[in-house]
Structure 1
Amino acid sequence: MGDLDRTVDVIVVGKGIAGACAALEAKRAGAEVLVLERAGGGGGASALSQGIFYLGGGTDVQQACGYEDTPQNMYDFLRASTSHPDDAVVRTFAEGARDHFDWLEQQGVPFTRTGFSGKAVYLSNADCLLTTGNEKIWPFKERAKPVPRGHQARSDEVNGGLSAMRALLARCDAEEIETTYNAAVTGLETDETGRVVGVTARIDGAEQRIGARRGVVVATGSFTNNTELVKKWLPLLSETSSPLGVPSNDGAGLGLVEAVNGQLAAMDGVIATASIYPPERLVQGIVVNAHGERFVAEDSYHGRLAGFIMEQPGQKAYLILDSEIFAYPEAESARHALIDGWETVSEMAEGLGMSAGALERTMAEYNRDAADGVDTRFHKQPPWLKPLDQGPYAAFDISFDRSIYAFITLGGIDTDSRARVLDAAGQPIAGLYAAGACAAHIPRTGKEYASGLSLGPGSFFGRMAGREVAADPGVSVASRIPANEAAD
């Protein structure tokens, strides 16, 4: 690797939730750890989130709230609802999720023993457990027993993500994990075998070369704020789509890994949301496209609904309500606009520019089903079925190209169940690991997503990466550099 400025056992690139967890586990396994963080402090996008961790298998919170769950049940749901090609990744996460919850609490991440049984995007109080995905909808409810798995860190004082990151960063400080901030990693160094043995980084305006005896963990976050990559990989996003994250979520880690022959996966995956609820009674309405047709069960997770809206003709969609359930969507950031009110369905169809009879047929079929308590077309669950027969009627424009759909990217570095970065042949690259939002997620599309399937697996596989890199036999970097540098 040539002349080095210093050498450590493990380098962790990034100090969001995955990086912090990786650093803790590597340090506890006996490795000398250096964290390089491009920003002026730790936390990343995780600190801005609502702090929801998707975990199950019988966590203490689930049990306290009266729910029975098992690792197999969690696996069955994830396997039914997501399309991750590596079954070992899904099973490893499902089987380790309960113990991972315990570990997070041991680090000081705050969770209460209370839950919320209604339908919400996130909780604004200190309750913890809520349903955050598609567990209750068909066909997934037929494959696994529906139980809530969204564990939101306590958010009565600050947002839950900040609560979680404060705890993890404090633990890193307490265990004296060395961190250099304002440090931009510009490249990965490899030896003649292709093994990753260090990094180049710009620190205080100067380039440094730092060796890693055992390996490097990339935990640099998503590419959500990289306009060029978003346009390349996510052409269905509209000009009104709004990225969620921090400025450093620019996909830098993807470029680092590609330069050493690492593979990317699921780059066209995105979770977008502009939820129609709360209030939850709006779920009793129907959502139709520009042709007056329903296209998804309205009680689906808000990201699944958005995924279908994105694919509709002209990306147009309307939320239809009658006077009995009328209310304004409370997600102000979504900016769903009330179009108008009409005395009859026919007048509404004409006002929305739909072909004569199309919306009337949709409403008639839906109302018959709702009266019978069975949605024959999309299997919407009975608690959300109500005939829409109490005029006047109203329509909100929830089109993908008009409302503000906030999004995060799901694609990234291809990794295995041990958080090892894979090459084009599906083989691990020696000395290189990745976790968090820079890695391809378990859910590959917004239709598969559940809130918490970023923080949950991100922190879980961050820990995995830390343990694996610390146990990596590594190489004797010191044998290739002058003795005075090896002593650093």
Structure 2
Amino acid sequence: MVEEQLVLEASGIPHWTHSAEVVVVGFGMAGACAAIEARQAGASVIVIERTSGGTGSTSAAAGHFYLGGGTAVQQACGFEDSAEDMARYLEAVSPAPNLDKIRLYSEGSVSHFDWLETQGVPFDRSFYPEKNVVQPGRECLIWTGNEEVWPYRDMARPAPRGHKVAFDGEEGGGALALRTLSERAADLGAAILVDTKVDALIREDERIIGIRAKSFGETLYVKALHGVILCAGGFGQNAEMVAKYAPILGSAYVQGSPHDDGLSIRLGMAAGGATEHMDEAFLTSPFYPPQDLLKGILVNGEGRRFVAEDSYHSRSSIACARQPEGTVYLIVDADIFAYPRFAALTNQSLVDGFESIAEMEKGLSLPEGRLVATLQGYNAAAARGEDPEFHKHPKWLKPLDQGPFAAFDLSFGKAVYTGFTLGGLKVSTDGEVLTEAGRPISGLYAAGACASNIAQDSNGYASGTCLGEASFFGRRAGQHAATAGRQGA
């Protein structure tokens, strides 16, 4: 029944209202980059966008691209990096690393950065040195992952790889990048159909040859001579899909476009496409900045630590969400006390101040003696510049021994956690949608949030991975679709 609704046979199509060699569904980051590359490869392109213009989740992003290997910004800021170190890091943090994709992404990272600048996306040659979620100003380079966190810092030489679009503020960089790239696609001759919703793929002899769409009550049949590229976002706004695949997001505020309803994924599945990592999601409730709060410790309802506190916020947040009953507290002393920068947004409330750890333990209803023992062990090791349990970086270690002490409630279900989906259609390195057996579905591609590429889970996520992979693999899909031809796909 689902396949009959989402995949139509060409024999039943009354007529074609439009035709192009490449049809792109969705005009976000992946769609814009796919359209640019397809046009530059000489193909005619029609982009179909549900809203009145290029929006999607990119427009709400700060504008980080996770890139490395020695970009012009890294070099200007004095950081050494290599494609090999970048690949080693991405392999280490991925639960099921796709070595071919990681190698291509790492080896092509420098040239991809140069390509973005060539299209007009602006980046300053500057570095933001503090541990933060996003730069408050135009600064470009920032640490946006777990490169300095154990064990990854021992597995690959660390380097900052978060490249923020030159935009003066915490929000707006993504919108600027998308506007620049969508205008570039239009300038190159891509035809843009806005306020148009795709609702079915069209198939002929096991090949996807077009789409059906609706625009203000009119039904359109758009033929794709070379290929259809699905770029219409994730499934975070589809409550049924979230409950089925990523139920942890049911207790979180889901970021993204209101049109992230999983349509591209459902279209691909109806055509026979497989999916990957649908049960994983990005999740965060950052307790820093200020960065000194990283010197505190996170404990669960048993009074035990469970993660290195210097982890990037998505790694520590997913660990918090998985604690028994979601109970988590941030413990700090008088030396480092501060309210988390985003406390008003995340509802990370100050429980109380306490004259002693024993008093805190009782006030938080933790098991008797447990928090006291945790702090005694932690403080003794921290005084030696060590953390044998979780190997927090020495620069974030200090004994928490200056009273009074304070506890912030970061419990999952009390504090506000924000997230978005990461799983999607299984695709080749060229964006071809693959079956469970790994066979490409002729004429069908996917990129961006509806496809599974580099970002696989919150534990290994780095800010900028989504825009980085959407733009990089969107380009590859556009190139492949443009040159595949009617018989060669």
TM-score by length of 1: 0.95
**Structure 1 residue 201: Cα displacement:** 0.8
- The answer on 1:159 being equivalent to 2:172 is yes
SS in 2 for 1:236: helix
Select 1:189's aligned residue among 186, 198, 202.
202
SS in 2 for 1:429: strand
Q: What is the CA–CA distance in structure 2 between the aligned matches of 1:162 and 1:261, rounded to whole Å?
A: 33
Indicate the larger mover: 196-205 or 149-158.
149-158
- Structure 2 residue runs of 5 or longer lacking an equivalent are 1-9
Q: Which residue of 1 aligns with 2:7?
A: none
Q: What is the CA–CA distance in structure 2 between the aligned matches of 1:234 and 1:174, rounded to whole Å?
A: 39
Q: What is the CA–CA distance in structure 1 between the aligned matches of 2:187 and 2:430, rounded to whole Å?
A: 27
**Structure 1 residue 83: Cα displacement:** 2.3
Q: Which residue of 2 aligns with 1:321?
A: 332
Structure 1 residues 132-151: aligned runs within 5 Å:
132-151=144-163
Select 2:87's aligned residue among 59, 75, 85.
75
Assess, with a 3 A threshold, how the Cα gap between structure 1 residues 80 and 170 changes in structure 2: closer, same or farther: same
- The answer on 1:371 being equivalent to 2:383 is yes
- The answer on 1:203 being equivalent to 2:212 is no
SS in 2 for 1:473: helix
Please tell me whether the aligned partners of residues 54 and 179 of structure 2 are also in contact (alpha carbons under 8 angstroms): no
Select 2:308's aligned residue among 278, 283, 297.
297
Q: Which residue of 2 aligns with 1:480?
A: none
Please tell me whether the aligned partners of residues 124 and 155 of structure 1 are also in contact (alpha carbons under 8 angstroms): no
Q: Which residue of 1 aligns with 2:193?
A: 180
Letter in 2 for 1:356: E
Structure 1 residues 306-455: aligned runs within 5 Å:
306-331=317-342, 332-455=344-467
Please tell me whether the aligned partners of residues 190 and 197 of structure 1 are also in contact (alpha carbons under 8 angstroms): yes
Letter in 1 for 2:53: G
Select 1:103's aligned residue among 115, 125, 128.
115
Q: What is the CA–CA distance in structure 2 between the aligned matches of 1:199 and 1:166, rounded to whole Å?
A: 25
Please tell me whether the aligned partners of residues 238 and 401 of structure 1 are also in contact (alpha carbons under 8 angstroms): no
**Structure 1 residue 44: Cα displacement:** 1.4
Q: Which residue of 1 aligns with 2:299?
A: 288
SS in 2 for 1:353: coil
Structure 1 residues 243-282: aligned runs within 5 Å:
243-282=254-293
Q: What is the CA–CA distance in structure 2 between the aligned matches of 1:444 and 1:12, rounded to whole Å?
A: 24
SS in 2 for 1:454: helix
SS in 2 for 1:469: helix
Q: What is the CA–CA distance in structure 2 between the aligned matches of 1:441 and 1:323, rounded to whole Å?
A: 44
SS in 2 for 1:306: helix
Q: What is the CA–CA distance in structure 2 between the aligned matches of 1:325 and 1:6, rounded to whole Å?
A: 63
SS in 1 for 2:108: helix
Letter in 1 for 2:340: P
Q: What is the CA–CA distance in structure 1 between the aligned matches of 2:379 and 2:247, rounded to whole Å?
A: 36
**Structure 1 residue 238: Cα displacement:** 5.0
Q: 4+ runs of 1 displaced by more than 3 Å?
A: none
SS in 2 for 1:35: strand
Q: What is the CA–CA distance in structure 1 between the aligned matches of 2:188 and 2:345, rounded to whole Å?
A: 40
**Structure 1 residue 177: Cα displacement:** 1.4
Q: What is the CA–CA distance in structure 2 between the aligned matches of 1:182 and 1:407, rounded to whole Å?
A: 27
Letter in 1 for 2:22: V
Q: Which residue of 2 aligns with 1:485?
A: none
Select 1:66's aligned residue among 68, 78, 87.
78
Aligned positions, number: 474
Task: State the Cα deviation string for residues 175-227 of structure 1 (Å, max 9, x = none).
Answer: 231000011111111112x1111111112312221111100100001111111
Please tell me whether the aligned partners of residues 411 and 438 of structure 1 are also in contact (alpha carbons under 8 angstroms): yes
Letter in 2 for 1:191: E
CA RMSD of aligned residues (A): 1.2
Please tell me whether the aligned partners of residues 243 and 250 of structure 2 are also in contact (alpha carbons under 8 angstroms): no
Q: What is the CA–CA distance in structure 2 between the aligned matches of 1:472 and 1:9, rounded to whole Å?
A: 10
Q: What is the CA–CA distance in structure 2 between the aligned matches of 1:297 and 1:209, rounded to whole Å?
A: 53
Letter in 2 for 1:177: A
Task: State the Cα deviation string for residues 144-185 of structure 1 (Å, max 9, x = none).
Answer: 000000000012166111121121122123223100001111
Please tell me whether the aligned partners of residues 238 and 400 of structure 1 are also in contact (alpha carbons under 8 angstroms): no
